[in-house]
Structure 1
Protein backbone atom coordinates (compact mmCIF):
# COMPACT_ATOMS: atom_id res chain seq x y z
CA UNK A 1 0.00 0.00 0.00
CA UNK A 2 1.40 3.37 -1.05
CA UNK A 3 1.49 5.98 1.71
CA UNK A 4 1.02 9.52 0.48
CA UNK A 5 3.58 11.99 1.88
CA UNK A 6 2.31 14.50 4.43
CA UNK A 7 2.33 18.01 2.99
CA UNK A 8 -0.01 19.86 5.37
CA UNK A 9 -0.54 20.15 9.11
CA UNK A 10 -4.06 20.43 10.50
CA UNK A 11 -4.26 23.03 13.24
CA UNK A 12 -7.74 24.03 14.33
CA UNK A 13 -9.60 25.10 11.20
CA UNK A 14 -6.44 25.59 9.18
CA UNK A 15 -4.34 23.40 6.91
CA UNK A 16 -0.76 24.62 7.10
CA UNK A 17 1.80 23.82 4.43
CA UNK A 18 4.98 22.14 5.67
CA UNK A 19 6.83 24.84 3.74
CA UNK A 20 6.31 27.11 6.74
CA UNK A 21 8.44 24.72 8.77
CA UNK A 22 10.91 23.57 6.15
CA UNK A 23 11.60 26.83 4.33
CA UNK A 24 14.17 29.17 5.80
CA UNK A 25 13.37 32.82 5.20
CA UNK A 26 14.34 36.31 6.31
CA UNK A 27 13.53 39.48 4.36
CA UNK A 28 16.59 41.20 2.91
CA UNK A 29 15.43 44.71 2.02
CA UNK A 30 18.88 45.77 0.88
CA UNK A 31 18.63 43.17 -1.88
CA UNK A 32 14.92 43.15 -2.82
CA UNK A 33 14.26 46.87 -2.13
CA UNK A 34 10.70 46.10 -0.99
CA UNK A 35 9.67 44.60 -4.32
CA UNK A 36 6.60 42.86 -2.86
CA UNK A 37 4.97 46.31 -2.55
CA UNK A 38 5.72 47.11 -6.18
CA UNK A 39 5.42 43.94 -8.24
CA UNK A 40 2.16 42.06 -8.70
CA UNK A 41 -0.95 41.78 -10.80
CA UNK A 42 -3.20 43.17 -8.09
CA UNK A 43 -3.09 45.10 -4.84
CA UNK A 44 -2.78 43.63 -1.37
CA UNK A 45 -5.80 41.51 -0.36
CA UNK A 46 -7.90 43.10 2.37
CA UNK A 47 -10.04 41.43 5.00
CA UNK A 48 -13.59 42.83 5.40
CA UNK A 49 -12.78 44.81 8.56
CA UNK A 50 -9.64 46.25 6.98
CA UNK A 51 -11.62 48.21 4.38
CA UNK A 52 -13.12 50.47 7.03
CA UNK A 53 -9.87 50.54 8.99
CA UNK A 54 -7.92 51.92 6.04
CA UNK A 55 -10.60 54.54 5.44
CA UNK A 56 -10.36 55.57 9.11
CA UNK A 57 -6.56 55.86 9.23
CA UNK A 58 -6.06 57.31 5.74
CA UNK A 59 -5.98 60.99 6.85
CA UNK A 60 -2.95 60.18 9.04
CA UNK A 61 -1.31 57.87 6.48
CA UNK A 62 -1.64 60.29 3.57
CA UNK A 63 1.25 62.50 4.75
CA UNK A 64 3.73 59.67 4.17
CA UNK A 65 2.50 58.66 0.71
CA UNK A 66 3.77 59.74 -2.68
CA UNK A 67 1.92 62.24 -4.84
CA UNK A 68 1.14 59.43 -7.29
CA UNK A 69 -0.23 57.25 -4.50
CA UNK A 70 -2.50 60.00 -3.20
CA UNK A 71 -3.77 60.57 -6.73
CA UNK A 72 -4.52 56.85 -7.11
CA UNK A 73 -6.58 56.82 -3.91
CA UNK A 74 -8.38 60.03 -4.89
CA UNK A 75 -9.36 58.47 -8.22
CA UNK A 76 -10.02 54.86 -7.16
CA UNK A 77 -10.94 55.03 -3.50
CA UNK A 78 -9.31 53.52 -0.40
CA UNK A 79 -9.75 50.03 -1.86
CA UNK A 80 -10.88 48.40 -5.11
CA UNK A 81 -12.28 45.08 -6.31
CA UNK A 82 -9.93 43.27 -8.69
CA UNK A 83 -10.69 40.98 -11.63
CA UNK A 84 -10.99 37.97 -9.30
CA UNK A 85 -13.60 39.74 -7.20
CA UNK A 86 -11.21 40.26 -4.27
CA UNK A 87 -11.05 43.50 -2.30
CA UNK A 88 -7.51 44.88 -2.57
CA UNK A 89 -5.50 48.07 -2.18
CA UNK A 90 -5.46 50.38 -5.20
CA UNK A 91 -2.43 50.49 -7.50
CA UNK A 92 -0.63 53.38 -9.13
CA UNK A 93 -0.10 53.51 -12.89
CA UNK A 94 3.30 51.81 -12.50
CA UNK A 95 1.67 48.83 -10.78
CA UNK A 96 2.93 49.63 -7.28
CA UNK A 97 0.62 49.77 -4.26
CA UNK A 98 -0.75 53.26 -3.66
CA UNK A 99 0.18 53.10 0.04
CA UNK A 100 3.96 53.24 -0.32
CA UNK A 101 6.87 55.60 0.08
CA UNK A 102 10.56 55.30 -0.70
CA UNK A 103 13.59 55.83 1.51
CA UNK A 104 17.12 55.41 0.13
CA UNK A 105 15.84 53.39 -2.80
CA UNK A 106 13.82 50.98 -0.66
CA UNK A 107 10.02 50.82 -0.82
CA UNK A 108 8.15 50.83 2.47
CA UNK A 109 4.50 50.84 3.55
CA UNK A 110 3.11 54.27 4.44
CA UNK A 111 0.44 52.66 6.63
CA UNK A 112 3.13 50.89 8.66
CA UNK A 113 5.10 54.14 8.84
CA UNK A 114 2.13 55.87 10.49
CA UNK A 115 1.82 52.89 12.85
CA UNK A 116 5.51 53.04 13.74
CA UNK A 117 5.17 56.77 14.45
CA UNK A 118 2.42 55.91 16.93
CA UNK A 119 -0.24 57.75 14.95
CA UNK A 120 -2.54 54.77 14.30
CA UNK A 121 -3.22 51.34 15.82
CA UNK A 122 -3.44 49.51 12.48
CA UNK A 123 -0.07 48.17 11.35
CA UNK A 124 -0.88 47.29 7.73
CA UNK A 125 -3.06 44.74 5.89
CA UNK A 126 -2.48 41.33 7.44
CA UNK A 127 -1.87 39.87 3.97
CA UNK A 128 1.18 42.15 3.67
CA UNK A 129 2.33 41.30 7.20
CA UNK A 130 2.15 37.59 6.35
CA UNK A 131 3.90 37.68 2.99
CA UNK A 132 5.25 35.37 1.49
CA UNK A 133 2.55 33.29 3.16
CA UNK A 134 -0.84 33.48 1.48
CA UNK A 135 -4.14 32.35 2.98
CA UNK A 136 -6.97 30.93 0.92
CA UNK A 137 -10.27 30.79 2.79
CA UNK A 138 -12.63 27.89 2.19
CA UNK A 139 -15.94 27.19 3.88
CA UNK A 140 -14.53 24.58 6.26
CA UNK A 141 -10.91 25.70 6.68
CA UNK A 142 -8.15 28.13 5.73
CA UNK A 143 -5.26 26.92 3.58
CA UNK A 144 -2.02 28.52 4.78
CA UNK A 145 0.61 28.29 2.03
CA UNK A 146 4.01 29.63 1.11
CA UNK A 147 3.96 31.59 -2.15
CA UNK A 148 7.15 31.03 -4.11
CA UNK A 149 8.30 34.24 -5.75
CA UNK A 150 11.61 35.06 -7.43
CA UNK A 151 11.67 38.48 -5.78
CA UNK A 152 12.26 36.69 -2.45
CA UNK A 153 15.33 34.78 -3.62
CA UNK A 154 17.59 36.91 -1.42
CA UNK A 155 15.29 36.31 1.57
CA UNK A 156 15.65 32.55 1.16
CA UNK A 157 19.42 32.91 1.08
CA UNK A 158 19.46 35.15 4.17
CA UNK A 159 17.09 32.81 5.98
CA UNK A 160 19.38 29.87 5.25
CA UNK A 161 22.46 31.78 6.39
CA UNK A 162 20.75 32.81 9.63
CA UNK A 163 18.90 29.49 10.11
CA UNK A 164 15.50 31.18 10.49
CA UNK A 165 12.46 29.09 9.60
CA UNK A 166 9.62 30.84 7.78
CA UNK A 167 7.06 30.33 10.55
CA UNK A 168 9.47 31.85 13.07
CA UNK A 169 10.18 34.87 10.86
CA UNK A 170 6.42 35.42 10.57
CA UNK A 171 5.66 34.80 14.26
CA UNK A 172 4.11 38.22 14.92
CA UNK A 173 2.01 38.11 11.74
CA UNK A 174 0.78 34.56 12.36
CA UNK A 175 -0.17 35.39 15.95
CA UNK A 176 -1.95 38.50 14.71
CA UNK A 177 -3.96 36.37 12.28
CA UNK A 178 -4.72 33.25 14.33
CA UNK A 179 -3.72 33.97 17.91
CA UNK A 180 -0.96 32.86 20.27
CA UNK A 181 -2.56 29.50 21.12
CA UNK A 182 -2.68 28.60 17.42
CA UNK A 183 0.95 29.63 16.96
CA UNK A 184 2.09 27.60 19.96
CA UNK A 185 0.41 24.55 18.44
CA UNK A 186 2.17 25.21 15.14
CA UNK A 187 5.46 25.48 17.00
CA UNK A 188 4.81 22.18 18.80
CA UNK A 189 3.94 20.48 15.50
CA UNK A 190 7.13 21.85 13.99
CA UNK A 191 9.25 20.32 16.76
CA UNK A 192 7.52 16.95 16.34
CA UNK A 193 7.96 17.06 12.57
CA UNK A 194 11.65 17.95 12.82
CA UNK A 195 12.23 15.15 15.33
CA UNK A 196 10.42 12.70 13.06
CA UNK A 197 12.53 13.73 10.08
CA UNK A 198 15.75 13.45 12.06
CA UNK A 199 14.87 9.97 13.29
CA UNK A 200 13.94 8.87 9.78
CA UNK A 201 17.34 9.84 8.38
Structure 2
Protein backbone atom coordinates (compact mmCIF):
# COMPACT_ATOMS: atom_id res chain seq x y z
CA UNK A 1 0.00 0.00 0.00
CA UNK A 2 1.45 3.39 -0.99
CA UNK A 3 -0.06 5.49 1.76
CA UNK A 4 1.45 3.97 4.88
CA UNK A 5 2.64 0.88 6.60
CA UNK A 6 -0.46 -0.82 7.99
CA UNK A 7 -0.50 -1.35 11.76
CA UNK A 8 0.53 -4.86 12.66
CA UNK A 9 -2.15 -7.20 14.09
CA UNK A 10 -0.20 -7.14 17.36
CA UNK A 11 -1.33 -3.53 17.92
CA UNK A 12 -2.34 -3.29 21.56
CA UNK A 13 -5.10 -1.04 22.83
CA UNK A 14 -4.25 1.26 25.72
CA UNK A 15 -3.56 0.01 29.19
CA UNK A 16 -5.64 1.34 32.04
CA UNK A 17 -3.00 3.84 33.23
CA UNK A 18 -4.00 7.47 33.83
CA UNK A 19 -1.67 8.97 31.20
CA UNK A 20 -3.27 9.80 27.85
CA UNK A 21 -1.08 9.14 24.82
CA UNK A 22 -1.23 11.32 21.69
CA UNK A 23 -0.09 10.04 18.31
CA UNK A 24 -0.33 11.05 14.68
CA UNK A 25 -0.65 8.74 11.72
CA UNK A 26 0.56 10.35 8.49
CA UNK A 27 -0.79 9.50 5.04
CA UNK A 28 0.52 10.77 1.71
CA UNK A 29 -2.75 11.99 0.22
CA UNK A 30 -6.26 12.81 1.50
CA UNK A 31 -7.78 9.92 -0.48
CA UNK A 32 -5.68 7.44 1.53
CA UNK A 33 -7.04 8.66 4.87
CA UNK A 34 -10.27 6.66 4.76
CA UNK A 35 -8.51 3.48 3.66
CA UNK A 36 -6.06 3.90 6.55
CA UNK A 37 -8.84 4.41 9.13
CA UNK A 38 -10.68 1.32 7.87
CA UNK A 39 -7.48 -0.74 8.20
CA UNK A 40 -6.77 0.68 11.65
CA UNK A 41 -10.27 -0.07 12.91
CA UNK A 42 -10.11 -3.48 11.31
CA UNK A 43 -7.29 -4.17 13.78
CA UNK A 44 -8.69 -2.30 16.80
CA UNK A 45 -12.17 -3.70 16.29
CA UNK A 46 -10.98 -7.24 16.93
CA UNK A 47 -10.54 -6.38 20.60
CA UNK A 48 -13.83 -7.32 22.29
CA UNK A 49 -15.79 -4.48 23.89
CA UNK A 50 -13.25 -1.75 23.06
CA UNK A 51 -14.99 1.69 23.14
CA UNK A 52 -13.79 3.90 20.27
CA UNK A 53 -14.80 7.41 19.12
CA UNK A 54 -14.07 8.93 15.70
CA UNK A 55 -14.37 12.75 15.57
CA UNK A 56 -15.26 14.48 12.31
CA UNK A 57 -15.41 18.16 11.40
CA UNK A 58 -18.56 18.01 9.26
CA UNK A 59 -21.70 15.98 8.58
CA UNK A 60 -20.46 15.02 5.10
CA UNK A 61 -17.28 13.65 6.65
CA UNK A 62 -19.30 11.76 9.26
CA UNK A 63 -21.52 10.19 6.58
CA UNK A 64 -18.49 9.09 4.55
CA UNK A 65 -16.80 7.55 7.61
CA UNK A 66 -19.97 5.72 8.69
CA UNK A 67 -20.48 4.37 5.16
CA UNK A 68 -16.90 3.06 4.99
CA UNK A 69 -16.98 1.48 8.46
CA UNK A 70 -20.47 -0.03 8.31
CA UNK A 71 -19.21 -3.33 6.89
CA UNK A 72 -16.60 -4.04 9.58
CA UNK A 73 -17.86 -7.21 11.26
CA UNK A 74 -16.27 -6.67 14.69
CA UNK A 75 -17.73 -3.23 15.35
CA UNK A 76 -21.09 -1.98 16.58
CA UNK A 77 -21.45 1.43 14.91
CA UNK A 78 -23.50 4.49 15.91
CA UNK A 79 -23.39 8.20 15.01
CA UNK A 80 -24.13 11.53 16.69
CA UNK A 81 -25.13 14.34 14.31
CA UNK A 82 -27.11 17.57 14.48
CA UNK A 83 -30.52 16.39 13.26
CA UNK A 84 -30.55 13.21 15.33
CA UNK A 85 -33.69 13.04 17.48
CA UNK A 86 -33.07 13.74 21.17
CA UNK A 87 -34.33 10.30 22.17
CA UNK A 88 -32.01 8.61 19.67
CA UNK A 89 -29.09 10.72 20.90
CA UNK A 90 -29.81 9.65 24.48
CA UNK A 91 -29.93 6.00 23.36
CA UNK A 92 -26.56 6.25 21.58
CA UNK A 93 -24.94 7.91 24.59
CA UNK A 94 -26.42 5.39 27.03
CA UNK A 95 -25.35 2.36 24.95
CA UNK A 96 -21.83 3.74 24.68
CA UNK A 97 -21.73 4.45 28.42
CA UNK A 98 -22.71 0.82 29.01
CA UNK A 99 -19.96 -0.26 26.59
CA UNK A 100 -17.36 1.64 28.62
CA UNK A 101 -18.66 0.02 31.83
CA UNK A 102 -18.37 -3.42 30.19
CA UNK A 103 -14.82 -2.58 29.04
CA UNK A 104 -13.83 -1.48 32.55
CA UNK A 105 -15.30 -4.66 34.06
CA UNK A 106 -13.59 -6.87 31.51
CA UNK A 107 -11.08 -9.13 33.22
CA UNK A 108 -12.71 -8.63 36.60
CA UNK A 109 -15.81 -10.54 35.63
CA UNK A 110 -17.39 -11.85 32.48
CA UNK A 111 -20.51 -9.72 32.55
CA UNK A 112 -21.65 -9.95 28.93
CA UNK A 113 -22.37 -12.80 26.58
CA UNK A 114 -23.38 -13.12 22.97
CA UNK A 115 -21.80 -12.04 19.70
CA UNK A 116 -23.31 -8.53 19.55
CA UNK A 117 -22.18 -7.67 23.08
CA UNK A 118 -18.63 -8.85 22.33
CA UNK A 119 -18.14 -6.35 19.50
CA UNK A 120 -16.12 -3.19 19.86
CA UNK A 121 -18.36 -0.13 20.17
CA UNK A 122 -17.74 2.82 17.89
CA UNK A 123 -19.40 6.24 17.88
CA UNK A 124 -18.73 8.68 15.03
CA UNK A 125 -19.45 12.28 16.07
CA UNK A 126 -19.20 15.79 14.62
CA UNK A 127 -17.77 18.63 16.69
CA UNK A 128 -21.17 20.32 17.05
CA UNK A 129 -22.62 17.14 18.58
CA UNK A 130 -19.96 16.35 21.17
CA UNK A 131 -21.41 15.61 24.64
CA UNK A 132 -22.46 18.76 26.49
CA UNK A 133 -20.78 18.35 29.87
CA UNK A 134 -22.21 21.69 31.04
CA UNK A 135 -25.74 20.35 30.40
CA UNK A 136 -25.18 17.23 32.45
CA UNK A 137 -24.17 14.79 29.69
CA UNK A 138 -21.28 12.51 30.61
CA UNK A 139 -18.01 12.20 28.75
CA UNK A 140 -18.00 9.30 26.30
CA UNK A 141 -14.85 7.99 28.04
CA UNK A 142 -13.60 6.04 25.02
CA UNK A 143 -10.33 4.11 25.22
CA UNK A 144 -9.37 5.27 21.71
CA UNK A 145 -10.17 8.63 20.09
CA UNK A 146 -9.44 9.00 16.37
CA UNK A 147 -9.40 12.54 14.98
CA UNK A 148 -10.33 11.84 11.37
CA UNK A 149 -9.83 15.51 10.60
CA UNK A 150 -7.12 17.24 12.61
CA UNK A 151 -8.60 20.27 14.43
CA UNK A 152 -6.88 23.57 13.65
CA UNK A 153 -7.68 25.12 17.05
CA UNK A 154 -6.37 24.07 20.43
CA UNK A 155 -9.84 24.61 21.92
CA UNK A 156 -11.42 22.08 19.54
CA UNK A 157 -8.68 19.53 20.20
CA UNK A 158 -9.04 19.97 23.96
CA UNK A 159 -12.84 19.71 23.83
CA UNK A 160 -12.66 16.47 21.85
CA UNK A 161 -10.32 14.98 24.46
CA UNK A 162 -12.39 16.23 27.42
CA UNK A 163 -15.73 15.01 26.06
CA UNK A 164 -14.63 11.79 24.36
CA UNK A 165 -11.55 10.21 25.96
CA UNK A 166 -11.10 8.28 29.19
CA UNK A 167 -8.13 8.73 31.48
CA UNK A 168 -5.39 6.47 30.12
CA UNK A 169 -6.81 6.52 26.58
CA UNK A 170 -5.07 6.96 23.24
CA UNK A 171 -5.59 9.76 20.71
CA UNK A 172 -4.76 8.99 17.07
CA UNK A 173 -4.65 12.02 14.77
CA UNK A 174 -4.97 11.40 11.04
CA UNK A 175 -2.56 13.77 9.30
CA UNK A 176 -2.05 14.51 5.61
CA UNK A 177 1.30 15.98 4.52
CA UNK A 178 0.48 19.68 4.73
CA UNK A 179 -1.08 19.34 8.20
CA UNK A 180 2.25 18.76 9.95
CA UNK A 181 2.48 22.52 10.60
CA UNK A 182 -0.98 22.45 12.23
CA UNK A 183 0.11 19.48 14.32
CA UNK A 184 3.20 21.30 15.59
CA UNK A 185 1.11 24.38 16.35
CA UNK A 186 -1.32 22.25 18.40
CA UNK A 187 1.60 20.74 20.30
CA UNK A 188 3.05 24.13 21.16
CA UNK A 189 -0.23 25.77 22.17
CA UNK A 190 -1.53 22.85 24.23
CA UNK A 191 1.73 21.59 25.74
CA UNK A 192 0.93 18.06 24.55
CA UNK A 193 3.52 15.86 22.83
CA UNK A 194 2.02 14.23 19.72
CA UNK A 195 4.40 11.50 18.59
CA UNK A 196 4.41 9.51 15.36
CA UNK A 197 2.43 6.36 15.98
CA UNK A 198 4.72 3.32 16.15
CA UNK A 199 3.69 0.03 14.61
CA UNK A 200 3.21 -1.41 18.10
CA UNK A 201 1.78 0.94 20.70
Structure having the higher strand fraction is 2
User: Which structure's CA Rg is the greater one?
Assistant: 1
User: Which structure has more RCO (C-alpha within 8 Å, separation ≥ 6)?
Assistant: 2
Mark yes or no: TM-score above 0.5.
Answer: no
TM-score of the aligned structures, taking structure 1 as reference length: 0.31
